[in-house]
Amino acid sequence: MSWYLWAMSSTTDLDTLWRPLALGTIEVPNRIMFSAHSPAHGIDRYPGYLAARARGGAGLIVTGAMPVHPTTDLAWFRAWQDGALEDFRTLAGAVHDEGGTLFTQLHHMGLQGMHAQRFDMTSKIVAPSSVPSPVFDVHGHALAEEEIAEIVEHFAQSALTAKEAGMDGVEIHAAHGYLLFSFLSPLTNRRTDGYGGSVENRARFVIEVLRAVRDKVGEDFPVGLKFGMDEAVGPLGFDPATAAETLRVIRGAASFDYVSLSGAAYHNLEHLTTPITSVLDAHIAEQGPLAREVVGELPVFATCAIRTLDRAAEIVASGKVDMVGMVRPQMADPDLVRKGQGGRAAEIRPCVGANQGCWRRVFRGGQVSCTVNPETGRETEWADRFNPVEHPGRVVVVGGGPAGLKAAESAARRGHEVILLERGAALGGQLIAAGSLPRRDTWHRLVDHLKGSLDRLGVDVRLGTEATAESVSALDPDLVVVATGSFYGTDGFSILRPDRMTIPGLETALVLDPEAAALNPASCGRRVLIVDDHGTLPALGLAELLAQGGAEVELITAHPQVGIQLSVISTMDHATIYPRLLRAGVRCTPEATISQVDGSRVSIAGIYGTWERELDGVESVVLLQNRHPRTQLHDELLAAGLAVELIGDAYAPREVDEAILEGASSGLQVMARV
């Protein structure tokens, strides 16, 4: 059973989540944490972002990791600099004004310090030993003992700054391959001095940091430890047994008030920020009992792949951990806790796990938002966007895909009368096909949520209704929002082959678009060739679906690798779905295109002209190449003199992120009906 189906069928009592929890000298009101992550927001956006989660009821909020020393990430906030006091004070004030509790996380990126070089090319990467980063193709400088002592002092001073600024506590980051963790791991710590070798020596740096922080902030200020329980690289790395032994040493030598468990590092982030295609489910929480054995009465937290309140309640009720981190679910719905407490869990906007609006956006140099909730990251700018209008109008939305559904919801939230016209028998648009692919049923959950929202808002939804300029005009709208989507071309044109307009002989084959193939896999036959120009998840998901049904599948792309857009600096699906394709027998061929088709015989060739081979018995060819917007109705409505707004794929074929964003942004200029 997928985690989505489990969540929908669960009847877990949520009351266990609403019990308070003592953390040192303070108490938090519930067991849901908005745990540390770096949204790349500056001081203009970050306070509003955190405040929204405090207003939504998060029991504890931990800021993204704040760098403590000039040799680490030089981005956004710098805890060691003079301006940090005022910035921290602003963040604390924003959260406290909403009744929340705010800790700040302190860290040094060490070998993961790619961002440091992005901001300052003279920045140096430091590490326990002169070993290469597993991700960023840099070697670290092995820290001398006096350099370690300087960083220890910077941790302590940064913690004091947080206390003086009014933060409620600090969390020391010793996970995810960052500097403190890299000293713990035998994979990256090859030292032969007092900071290397034995578990006790490898833990020395972390112990010194915790002691220095405690000496600086005193016993009345909570100090937590973020701790990696499993590096997920095998016995040469930091495995759970080593983690437990190390945590025992740290617990016996230093004072801290809780331990927050995590795992993995940048080279295997699919174990941490689990993508939509992952099978992992609350896997870090399974290490909770092991940690409890060594920390005794200290509260134990866990993060990673805890996606619903039902799942969180089950974990806390089991006693595995005392508090759970739910970041992406609270990006998707900052009111997750309040809705759960108020008996409105069915209204919670679900996280689909796509990693597009959050993780990928940051790694591409942007700021965190959310695929399903474009208000995330825009809390300050959009503070008044959905306030009821003084003079409501009538809005007609054409198209029941993600853009149209969001447009209808947004207009109704502002108080407009909304009519949604969908020519099909069901709402969802391309999300219907997307959600039919293996481990992507969360898209169906999003559609269900939007349908429920429209029902609660009183939107008039008319299925099986083909919109025309005449029929829409008869509804007397103040605004028509056209969200008629796009469709895949099957003519064989590829922007990656600009030397030709089509594939020679393509008309002799059965050519399908990916939506049709996903919704009716049997129509593809037993031997299928998939051609992918995009390098995104639909092609790989379709290949997996067809292979599961017994088809012989080959997936070709002109890109250097199959699924090129799914890497660790994107959505991280490549590491989860690609091995499954290989195990299912899917043949994946990069740097290739179709050269010619002759009925069931298809010739494919390398893009550099160095090889060619023939495939016999091909029953269908599925093309994921160019997409075309459906704009005819829009043009006809304009000609009829109506006020029209074109959004989503009908404006330009893109991803669901843009569709939902434009749906939320549509209808702002509805003329008042007076």
| pLDDT of 2 | 45
Residues 571 and 462 occupy one common structural domain? no
Nearest-CA neighbor of 143 among 158, 154, 128, 156?
128
Helix (H, G, I), strand (E, B) or coil at 204: helix
Torsion, Cα of 47, 667, 359, 105 (10° steps): 10
Cβ burial, residue 18 (10 Å; 0-12/13-18/19+): middle
Residues 512 and 607 occupy one common structural domain? yes
| pLDDT of 671 | 56
- Looking at the chain, the whole-number percentage of residues with pLDDT higher than 90 is 86
- Say how many domains are in the chain: 3
pLDDT band at 80 (very low <50, low <70, confident <90, very high): confident
Residue 518 lies in a domain: yes
The pLDDT tens digits of the residues spanning 404-418 come to 999 999 999 999 999
Q: Which domain holds residue 38?
A: 3-363
Residue 370 lies in a domain: no
Specify the CATH number for the domain of residue 590: 3.50.50.60
The pLDDT tens digits of the residues spanning 252-294 come to 999 999 999 999 887 787 888 888 899 889 999 999 999 999 9
CB distance 503 to 495 below 8 Å? no
The pLDDT tens digits of the residues spanning 291-301 come to 999 999 999 99
CB distance 205 to 248 below 8 Å? no
Sequence-ordered alpha helix ranges (H) in 284-401: 288-295, 309-318, 328-332, 336-341, 361-363
Average pLDDT of 218-245?
95
- Dmax over CA atoms of the chain, in Å, equals 83
CB distance 160 to 216 below 8 Å? yes
Whether the predicted pLDDT of 115 surpasses 90: no
Query: If you search the block for the tokens 């895909």, which residue do you land on?
Result: 401
- Looking at the chain, the whole-number percentage of residues with pLDDT higher than 70 is 95
pLDDT band at 120 (very low <50, low <70, confident <90, very high): low
Whether the predicted pLDDT of 615 surpasses 50: yes
State CA 167 to chain mean position distance: 27
Rounded CA-CA distance 280/263 in Å is 13
Rounded CA-CA distance 432/440 in Å is 10
Specify the CATH number for the domain of residue 444: 3.40.50.720
Cβ burial, residue 108 (10 Å; 0-12/13-18/19+): buried
Residues 476 and 534 occupy one common structural domain? no
CB distance 202 to 238 below 8 Å? no
- Domain endpoint, select from 347, 363, 379: 363
Q: 6 vs 497, which has greater pLDDT? A: 497
CB distance 397 to 418 below 8 Å? yes
Residues 73 and 169 occupy one common structural domain? yes
Whether the predicted pLDDT of 109 surpasses 50: yes
Which span out of 165-169, 490-494, 574-578 was modeled with the highest average pLDDT?
165-169
- What HEC string does 499-567 produce? CCCCCCCHHHCCEECHHHHHHCHHHHCCEEEEEECCCCHHHHHHHHHHHHCCCEEEEEECCCCCCCCCC
| pLDDT of 7 | 46
| pLDDT of 8 | 44
| pLDDT of 674 | 31
Determine which of 336-340, 387-391, 535-539, 626-630 has the lowest per-residue pLDDT on average: 387-391
pTM (2 decimals)? 0.94
- Domain endpoint, select from 348, 363, 378: 363
Average pLDDT of 55-64?
98
Angle, alpha carbons 660-568-289 (nearest 5°) = 95
Residues 70 and 137 occupy one common structural domain? yes
Pairing of strands 527-532, 552-557: parallel
Residues 608 and 661 occupy one common structural domain? no
240: tokens are 């759970």
| pLDDT of 594 | 98
Rounded CA-CA distance 174/252 in Å is 17
pLDDT band at 125 (very low <50, low <70, confident <90, very high): confident
| pLDDT of 570 | 86
Average pLDDT of 459-465?
99
Cβ burial, residue 522 (10 Å; 0-12/13-18/19+): exposed
- What HEC string does 375-436 produce? CCCCCCCCCCCCCCCCCCCEEEEECCCHHHHHHHHHHHHCCCEEEEEECCCCCCCHHHHHCC
Determine which of 89-93, 258-262, 665-669 has the lowest per-residue pLDDT on average: 665-669
Residue 373 lies in a domain: no
CB distance 438 to 544 below 8 Å? yes
Whether the predicted pLDDT of 642 surpasses 90: yes
Residues 576 and 637 occupy one common structural domain? no
CB distance 314 to 355 below 8 Å? no
| pLDDT of 234 | 84
Rounded CA-CA distance 426/429 in Å is 8
Query: Which residue type does 598 have?
Result: D
Helix (H, G, I), strand (E, B) or coil at 67: strand
Residues 180 and 38 occupy one common structural domain? yes
pLDDT band at 3 (very low <50, low <70, confident <90, very high): very low
pLDDT band at 114 (very low <50, low <70, confident <90, very high): low
Whether the predicted pLDDT of 596 surpasses 50: yes
Residues 56 and 77 occupy one common structural domain? yes
CB distance 651 to 628 below 8 Å? no
Residues 645 and 563 occupy one common structural domain? no
Rounded CA-CA distance 332/134 in Å is 31
574: tokens are 């490549």
For the chain, the average pLDDT equals 94
Specify the CATH number for the domain of residue 196: 3.20.20.70
CB distance 539 to 577 below 8 Å? no
Residue 106 lies in a domain: yes
Average pLDDT of 421-430?
98
Which span out of 68-77, 356-365, 644-653 was modeled with the highest average pLDDT?
644-653
- As a whole number of Å, the end-to-end CA separation of the chain is 53
Q: Which residues are registered as beta bridge partners of 139?
A: 132
Residue 454 lies in a domain: yes
Residue 260 lies in a domain: yes
Angle, alpha carbons 99-104-110 (nearest 5°) = 160
Cβ burial, residue 502 (10 Å; 0-12/13-18/19+): middle
Instruction: Specify the length of the chain in residues.
Output: 674
Rounded CA-CA distance 208/215 in Å is 10
Residues 622 and 638 occupy one common structural domain? no
Angle, alpha carbons 30-347-57 (nearest 5°) = 25
Average pLDDT of 641-652?
98
> Who contacts 7 (Cβ-Cβ below 8 Å, separation ≥6)?
307, 308, 310, 311
- Domain endpoint, select from 324, 346, 363: 363
Whether the predicted pLDDT of 116 surpasses 70: no
484: tokens are 């008629």
Rounded CA-CA distance 111/141 in Å is 9
Residue 207 lies in a domain: yes
Q: 669 vs 33, which has greater pLDDT? A: 33
Residues 62 and 146 occupy one common structural domain? yes
363: tokens are 């790694």
Residue 267 lies in a domain: yes
